[in-house]
A and B are shown apart, each in its own frame.
Chain A
Amino acid sequence: MTAVTDTAQPHTALPPTGTVVTAATNPATPGPAIIGTGAVTDLGALTRADIEEFLYHEAALLDAWDLDGWLTLWAAERTRYVVPCNDAPDGNPATDLVLIDDDELRLRMRVERLNSRKAHREYPHSRTNHQIFNVRLGEAADGELPVTASFTVWRFRNGRASYYVGQHHYRLITDDGGVRIRTKRSQLDMTELRPAGDLAIIL
């Protein structure tokens, strides 16, 4: 039998996938060209491939638990990360109970919490696999590009496997740094959250 070669090792040239790597052992990997280069200013010129690249990069940061890196994908202001309740996917965070309704401060505090050893539900961290499909671009308007994408997020911890299935609704902008997330709304398709237990991770 042929000896196992180093092809069995993860590619180091790509953002980490699957494997849990801490930011300390895995310094921020350069993202695709539309991230961090300032190359893109025209929203209308963005292709689906560009956006998929951006979303895959976001997924890789989340899977690597590089949450500080993930925060840099967000616009500087008027940001919102919302996850409605399973039984009210149309829920409005201004009037209805939702699972997550993070403004800039809460988003930052969620990251700070998850980076600490005091977020007991996520210390030690779950292994996650954020999967993105069915990416569709809407018409850019008022400096924002609406994007929808289906997602499956797998979460593994203490021998337990759980899943989150649904659809992301993004509003993306461009600024000096490239593409940025203004708002992200993650609607769950499961009729109840029970199969997943809780939602201590970021979708």
Chain B
Amino acid sequence: MTLTEEPPTTAPSSTESPLVDEDTAGHRFRVHRSTMTSPEVLRQELRRVFEHSWLYVGHESEVAEPGDYVRRPVGGRNVFMVRGAKSKQVHVFHNTCTHRGAVVCRQKSGNAKVFQCFYHAWTFDSEGNLSGVPDREAYGEGLDFSTLGLRSVARVASYRGFVFASYDPDIVELVDYLAGAAEYLDLIADSAEAGMEIVKGTNEYCISANWKLLAENSVDGYHALPTHDTYFKYLVARGLVFSGSLDGRAKNLGNGHAVIEYLAPWGRPTARWGPDFDEGVRGEIDAARAALVERHGEQRGTRIADSNRNMLIYPNLVINDIMAVTVRTFMPSSPGQMDVTAWQLAAKDEHPAVRQTRLDNFLTFLGPAGFATPDDVEALESCQQGFNSGGVEWNDISRGMDREPKGNDELQMRTFWRRWADQMGDSDFGATVNR
């Protein structure tokens, strides 16, 4: 496979943005720190990035049955995802009554035949149609109630169970937007014959740092060993023999998406038994591995089983298939603050002992109370505090520019930032930039 700094889709090799400074010949790539601190940059991001991207809403397994729904913010707006009772299709609606505005989905999740606005009791069915209006005869004949159904988000599409929405009616098709990331979603979706599902329970935490720092951190192989010492100590206590680094490569997936793919010493609950696992689950996991090879062939089967993949789908979705599978999205609430929401994806119909292993694996590393994620939180907040110290205008993310990018290089971040610069255009947003 050819590894290249050039995205597979047409994009300028260097950016026009004064905030992202690329010097290919000089092997230097810099990002101006005002991108992390400026309220004007955030205002423009909300308009130029979040209004014109496909944003992750949820997984179809969360609304498996007709009438199932989940309510959540997407791109800073409150929407809800519901499976229509008749069509069985997944809809994503703006959570507002078409009459006078009150929210119609007031529970975080559940199953409903109808969504009734409590204010004046306008009622909508799970397909979004307006099905009930008290005292309808009070309205004139000319008013067309069929136009007053719930308003769908401009674009809604699903890929292998992952549901996305966009507020831009003219955005490219989802599969084209995903570009090379689709292959990596396939690897996850194909890892269990029965399919994958979101496990009950959500990590909803926050970090006092710019949202783009988490985009960088989630696919950063360089920081793993220095930052996460206490996690590796735990693995050693579990019986793992561990030395050296995480060997792998970084890949530009197009449209701002990137992945690092690497081998690591830990077990992977899908289909790679490790010495950090109990002996009791070895049979089940070995059987799952054999089944993968049977279904997908030796090469793809073992890749699904063995390779760790940290993937960033531009702008704010991370799906890491590592010691467990986490789906993570994040949204800025101010230049120095973000909300993070994370779920765990697991094989359906998983053996209870394997599920337990997966759950243990997840929360030992991941999540706001794990042995690793809190230290990432600290690192990101530390960067944000460092930016406020001033004196240094640019972040350097040049690592690996003059070689085939490895998993612990910084190609992933450069991929993200090039797309970001494209979307943000050439405005310097009032920043003082000395070039």
Contacts and interface: CB of A to CB of B under 8 A. Distances in A.
Are chains A and B native binding partners rather than an unrelated pairing? yes
Interface of A: 83-88, 91, 93-101, 105-106, 109-110, 112-113, 116, 118-122, 160, 192-194, 196-200
Nearest to B109: A87
B364 A106 contact: yes
A97 B339 contact: no
A110 B371 contact: yes
A87 B108 contact: yes
Given A97-B363, A109-B233, A85 B339 contact: no
Contact of B229 (A86, A98, A99, A118): A118
A150 to B, nearest CB: 20
A138 to B, nearest CB: 26
With a 10 A CB-CB cut-off, give which of B203, B229, B237, B379 has the most chain A CB atoms. Answer: B203
A101 B205 contact: no
25 contacts: A83-B369, A84-B201, A86-B204, A87-B108, A87-B201, A87-B202, A91-B200, A93-B359, A94-B359, A95-B352, A97-B203, A97-B343, A98-B363, A99-B203, A109-B230, A109-B234, A113-B234, A119-B374, A122-B374, A192-B205, A193-B205, A198-B207, A198-B368, A199-B369, A200-B377
Interface string B350-372: 00100110011011100111010
A96 B368 contact: no
Given A91-B200, A97-B367, A113-B371, 10 more contacts: A97-B200, A97-B203, A106-B360, A106-B364, A113-B230, A119-B375, A121-B374, A121-B378, A160-B208, A194-B204
Interface in B202-242: 202-208, 227, 229-230, 233-234, 237-238
A193 B204 contact: yes
A71 to B, nearest CB: 15
- Ordered nearest first, which 5 A-B pairs have the shortest CB separation? A97-B201, A121-B374, A200-B374, A199-B369, A198-B368
Contacts of A199: 205, 368-369, 374
A55 to B, nearest CB: 21
Given A109-B371, A113-B371, A121-B374, A91 B359 contact: no
A48 B142 CA distance: 71
A81 to B, nearest CB: 10
Contact of A112 (B205, B233, B374): B233
B374 A101 contact: no
Nearest to B340: A194
Contacts of B205: 192-194, 196-199
Interface of B: 108, 199-208, 227, 229-230, 233-234, 237-238, 339, 343-344, 352, 355-356, 359-360, 362-364, 367-369, 371, 373-375, 377-379
A100 B201 contact: no
A193 B233 contact: no
A193 B364 contact: no
Contacts of B368: 99, 193, 197-200
A65 to B, nearest CB: 16
B99 to A, nearest CB: 27
A113 B233 CA distance: 9
A94 B201 CA distance: 12
Given A94-B356, A101-B360, A121-B374, A200 B369 contact: yes
A85 to B, nearest CB: 4
Nearest to B235: A109
B344 A120 contact: no
A88 B199 CA distance: 11
Nearest to B358: A97
Contact of A120 (B208, B367, B379): B379
Nearest to B350: A95
A44 B359 CA distance: 36
A36 B319 CA distance: 48
A94 B356 CA distance: 5
Contacts of B204: 85-87, 192-194
A96 B367 CA distance: 13
B368 to A, nearest CB: 4
With a 10 A CB-CB cut-off, give which of B237, B355, B378, B379 has the most chain A CB atoms. Answer: B378
B378 A120 contact: yes
Contacts of A87: 108, 201-202, 204
B356 A91 contact: no
A193 B203 contact: yes
A98 B208 contact: no
Contact of B206 (A95, A100, A109, A194): A194
A108 B371 CA distance: 12
Contacts of B377: 121, 197-198, 200
B365 to A, nearest CB: 12
Contact of B230 (A84, A105, A116, A197): A116
B356 A197 contact: no
A198 B363 contact: no
Contact of A118 (B230, B339, B364): B230
A88 B343 CA distance: 12
